Amino acid sequence: MSNTINGCGSGNCACKSAASVQRRDPFDETDYGTPLRHADIDVTLEIDGQSVTVPAGTSVMRASIEAGVNVPKLCATDSLEPWGSCRLCLVEIEGKRGYPASCTTPVEAGMKVRTQSDKLQSLRRNVMELYISDHPLDCLTCPANGDCELQDMAGVVGLREVRYGYEGANHLKEAKDESNPYFTYDPSKCIVCNRCVRACEETQGTFALTIAGRGFESRVAASESVPFMESECVSCGACVAACPTATLQEKSVIMLGQAEHSVVTTCAYCGVGCSLKAEMKGNTVVRMTPNKNGQANEGHACVKGRFAWGYATHKDRIKKPMIRAKITDPWREVSWDEAIDYAASEFRRIQDKYGRDSIGGITSSRCTNEETYLVQKLVRAAFGNNNVDTCARVCHSPTGYGLKATLGESAGTQTFASVEKADVIVVIGANPTDGHPVFASRLKRRVREGAQLIVIDPRRIDIVDTPHVKASHHLALRPGTNVAMVNALAHVIVTEGLVDEAFVAERCEPRAFQQWRDFVAQEDNSPEAMEAVTGVPAEKVREAARIYATGGNAAIYYGLGVTEHAQGSTMVMGIANLAMATANVGREGVGVNPLRGQNNVQGSCDMGSFPHELPGYRHIGDAATRALFEEAWNVKLQPEPGLRIPNMFDAATHGTFMGLYCQGEDIVQSDPNTQHVADALSSMECIVVQDIFLNETAKYAHVLLPGSTFLEKDGTFTNAERRISRVRKVMPPLAGFSDWEVTIKLARALGYEMEYTHPSEIMDEIARLTPTFHGVSYDRLDELGSIQWPCNEKAPDGTPTMHIDEFVRGKGRFVITKFVATPEKVTRKYPLLLTTGRILSQYNVGAQTRRTENSRWHEEDRLEIHPADAEDRGIRTGDWVGIESRAGQTVLRAKITERMQPGVVYTTFHFPESGANVITTDSSDWATNCPEYKVTAVQVLPVEQPSQWQKDYSRFNTQQLELLNLAASSGK
């Protein structure tokens, strides 16, 4: 029998071509013991009489398992490099002395391996006997019973007795570390296999664990042998997943026992879009584990996706529809029919009174593609206008505008895996270790392998200097000067002859390029001229530009620190200019990569959530596109774009926009200038909020429709790589209906029929009407695991890398990016610049993560301030400080840190009472209205009491909670 495994990772895969190497069976759960190797040379050897061919560098263990021959193992697992400590995987190799460990022995051509013999069996039994003699014999009551590799291996090697007794020295009485809210460390069960330590280093890149002590004394230690919660551990769970015993064990498993079945779904937090396995007992989640075949995450997750799912069954969940005439009235629980009929009749009443355009809808980047598609369809077809917008307005709308204008497609160019081929990585205005942690782990691994890292950010974020990862350049620019910086980088590239002339000549519009070249070459764009603006020494900028242009494959990753500016769209185009000028686009390892904030920001934009665009980014003014949708939807569409979110607010305060359907989005907490948003909502006559909790927006609502979490519905999310992944229902919706079903009910009540019985039918319609989705269906997603759009006749399996031979728009277009200083300037009254961001443990407005144990890591928003600015003002860490801008004032506790540069302060916005957006202004991106969250001129001074806004908020909040409680008690 002969077995050829051409690097596909699956022993039973039929494909043999090199082109198929990346295609893995999306459901293969086998642990091959050591990682997959890629090599140009194949090696053929014999294992237990079978001929096996594998890529050079493969371990004997992996070759055996791929050939279907199981070798016992404990310290080896295929997500980690082999360690060779347990000696359970011993084999015999003809011509070699002794019994080498198969996990650390690479294959050689012609090798003859025996995995089974009496001698091997006896050696393995002896090893197991030693392990078991220092291990509690509580298998029947152990939480890992049935899911323990030690237990399995005892069975595999046929261990029947332990000769050494349990009287000698052992670790059986060692105390547990219960400090982490999600997992327990029980050293009495540790076999010192080092898998956790390697997982923390290799998979996560945090280096929080070591093996302390020697020989018999060796034990796993977090940081300097402190409890996990006091260590550098970020609770990603990689060590827990890697542990072969119950030493590191999820508390949920200890409490609920082993799962009965599992369902693969997609994380509902950030734009990495990790594939997770919901392990279930009936309708109860026992634990969430990273899917090793997940194409975005390859078996890793972070503290949010891995552990913070408890909000789904939190007591605060809204489970009954409710209505009220005024926001000062108590809520009244009603039937679904009554709530929907009331909402529809109010919307029609408002349209009769104020006109067709007086109502609109907001889609959510947390909902599925199918749900988002339905909301924009409802607005366009049933409301009869184009007043639909999405929360992407306030984060990545400039990405859509900027990339479309330059490259021709409103999305990132690469896969996450592409970073593994990058030689130079530039991170601009993104904080991946907090915002996109699983991608950050990949990025850090690549830097440890030798890639150069350049960070352009006002703050010294973690990735600038973290264990075994150091940025070669940190360009700590002043907030609001991104475009000055990108022009200075471009100036160096153009004036020092670093442009890839051949690429530009072949791939880009010559006239636009020449104009851009002349523009950036001007002396006033030089790093020297811009030094006073950016605050970054010119020589550092020159060095960074040279590295980017000449250091090999160079990839740019950017985040909201690029987009949330008055010149957000300009900066995105500036980044695309850099990539085109240096030929860093169109292959693996390079590209322009927006790190999307929420789980489905990409999808909500793709699905036509913007007022001017139908699904697939086609302008509503285009008659042919409109005709396509008019025929499919059986309705006449309006040709003019509708209102954007800020325009809706303005129109509301002017009395012309009076009704809003808001699904899964908290505009009061997340949009800038909270007071203006609150005034706008207070002016409206009917606000329908569909959400899982009484969020800040719902406190202004007249109809509250219970939302459903990602666990309660079928659908798809699209991550930052354009990867469409399935969301699968694992429990029934708590309030009876998934969000997509509720939108259908509302459409029907408005007199517009939507005939779908399952979200797959919605996706079929999207695919029919959207060229970049033509090849997408639930069947194909099940078959391939996930699909990166465009997926159509030309690319039936999707498109991992975009713009390979030509740009989507044909020729790439350089755009002149003149730096215009933000109107938000420091003055004597407001001498500091406030910038905002988020933190690893919390997510966005915090509605989900605040209702989990994640708050143990971050229980309040704080104001980070440089020691010099703090000293000037007599501020100490922990003091209450007032932060005042021209928009408003709030009070937070101060945290003094050298991560900040002098003159710049920073806060997160995860808690509504912080009022971070009370102080952000309505200054916004010139092209898209994306708010300038990242630059607000403020004064910071010590104070004794909350701000007036906070006192008012506290009163309003208490009143609204009481009104909700009245509904709950009347419904009992």
Binding site for ligand FES (CB under 6 A): 73-76, 84-89, 101, 103
Q: By C-beta, is 218 or 223 nearer to ligand FES?
A: 218
The Cα–Cα gap between 634 and 261 comes to 43
Cα angle, residue 600 at apex, residues 635 and 607 outer, rounded to 5°: 20
The Cα–Cα gap between 962 and 892 comes to 26
Q: Where are the alpha helices (DSSP H) in 134-250?
A: 149-156, 195-198, 238-242
CB under 5 to 8 A by kind: which of ligand SF4, ligand FES, none does 379 bind?
Answer: none
With contacts defined by CB under 6 A, name the span among 296-304, 525-533, 804-812, 947-955 that binds ligand SF4.
296-304
> CA quadruple 724, 729, 734, 740: dihedral positive or negative?
positive
CB under 5 to 8 A by kind: which of ligand FES, ligand SF4, none does 89 bind?
Answer: ligand FES
Q: By C-beta, is 272 or 688 nearer to ligand SF4?
A: 272
CB under 5 to 8 A by kind: which of ligand FES, ligand SF4, none does 120 bind?
Answer: none
Q: In the bound complex, which residue of the shown chain has the CB atom lying closest to ligand SF4? A: 305
Q: By C-beta, is 197 or 784 nearer to ligand SF4?
A: 197
Q: Please, what is the minimum distance in Å from the beta carbon of residue 88 to ligand FES? A: 5
| Maximum pairwise Cα distance, the chain | 92
- Number of Cα atoms under 13 Å in the Cβ half of residue 21: 12
Instruction: Report which secondary-structure segment, H or E, holds 602.
Output: helix 601-606
Residue 195 binding ligand SF4, by CB under 6 A = yes
Residue 770 binding ligand SF4, by CB under 6 A = no
With contacts defined by CB under 6 A, name the span among 59-67, 201-209, 370-378, 886-894 that binds ligand SF4.
201-209
Q: By C-beta, is 89 or 270 nearer to ligand FES?
A: 89
Q: By C-beta, is 59 or 673 nearer to ligand FES?
A: 59
Q: By C-beta, is 213 or 902 nearer to ligand SF4?
A: 213
DSSP sequence for 325-389? SSTTSPPEE--HHHHHHHHHHHHHHHHHHH-GGGEEEEE-TTS-HHHHHHHHHIIIIII-S--EE
Residue 600 binding ligand SF4, by CB under 6 A = no
Residue 269 binding ligand SF4, by CB under 6 A = yes
CB under 5 to 8 A by kind: which of ligand FES, ligand SF4, none does 191 bind?
Answer: ligand SF4
CB under 5 to 8 A by kind: which of ligand FES, ligand SF4, none does 73 bind?
Answer: ligand FES
Residue 767 binding ligand SF4, by CB under 6 A = no
Q: Where are the beta strands (DSSP E) in 813-920?
A: 832-837, 862-865, 880-884, 889-896, 904-908
Q: Please, what is the minimum distance in Å from the beta carbon of residue 6 to ligand SF4? A: 30
Q: By C-beta, is 192 or 392 nearer to ligand FES?
A: 192
Segment 244 to 263, residues that bind ligand SF4, using CB under 6 A: 245, 247-248
Residue 91 binding ligand SF4, by CB under 6 A = no
The Cα–Cα gap between 950 and 674 comes to 12
- Name the residue among 731, 468, 481, 720 with its Cα closest to residue 604: 720
Q: By C-beta, is 269 or 819 nearer to ligand SF4?
A: 269
Single out the residue of 79, 102, 184, 194 in contact with ligand SF4 (rule: CB under 6 A): 194
Q: Where are the alpha helices (DSSP H) in 785-873?
A: 867-873
Q: By C-beta, is 64 or 907 nearer to ligand FES?
A: 64
With contacts defined by CB under 6 A, name the span among 13-21, 300-308, 575-583, 615-623 that binds ligand SF4.
300-308
The Cα–Cα gap between 665 and 910 comes to 14
- Amino acid identity of residue 99, one-letter, is Y
Q: By C-beta, is 131 or 911 nearer to ligand FES?
A: 131
Q: Please, what is the minimum distance in Å from the beta carbon of residue 116 to ligand FES? A: 16
Q: By C-beta, is 88 or 144 nearer to ligand FES?
A: 88
Cα angle, residue 646 at apex, residues 644 and 652 outer, rounded to 5°: 100
CA distances 824 to 427, 559, 827, 831, 931, Å, are 24, 20, 9, 11, 12
Q: Please, what is the minimum distance in Å from the beta carbon of residue 30 to ligand FES? A: 15
Instruction: Report which secondary-structure segment, H or E, holds 469.
Output: strand 469-470
Phi/psi at 771 (5° precision): -55, -40
Q: Please, what is the minimum distance in Å from the beta carbon of residue 934 to ligand FES? A: 49
Q: By C-beta, is 195 or 366 nearer to ligand SF4?
A: 195
What 3-state class would DSSP assign to 846?
coil
The Cα–Cα gap between 292 and 894 comes to 41
Residue 301 binding ligand SF4, by CB under 6 A = yes
Phi/psi at 698 (5° precision): -65, -20
Beta bridge partners of 704: 322, 689
Q: Are 25 and 782 in contact (CB under 8 A)?
A: no
Segment 433 to 472, residues that bind ligand SF4, using CB under 6 A: 437-438
Q: By C-beta, is 406 or 441 nearer to ligand SF4?
A: 441
CB under 5 to 8 A by kind: which of ligand SF4, ligand FES, none does 84 bind?
Answer: ligand FES
Residue 237 binding ligand SF4, by CB under 6 A = yes
CB under 5 to 8 A by kind: which of ligand SF4, ligand FES, none does 76 bind?
Answer: ligand FES
Q: Are 327 and 701 in contact (CB under 8 A)?
A: yes
- Name the residue among 175, 181, 135, 177 with its Cα closest to residue 159: 135
The Cα–Cα gap between 452 and 143 comes to 44
Residues that bind ligand SF4 (CB under 6 A): 190-196, 199-200, 204, 206, 208-209, 220, 233-239, 242-243, 245, 247-248, 267, 269-270, 272-274, 297, 301-302, 304-305, 437-438
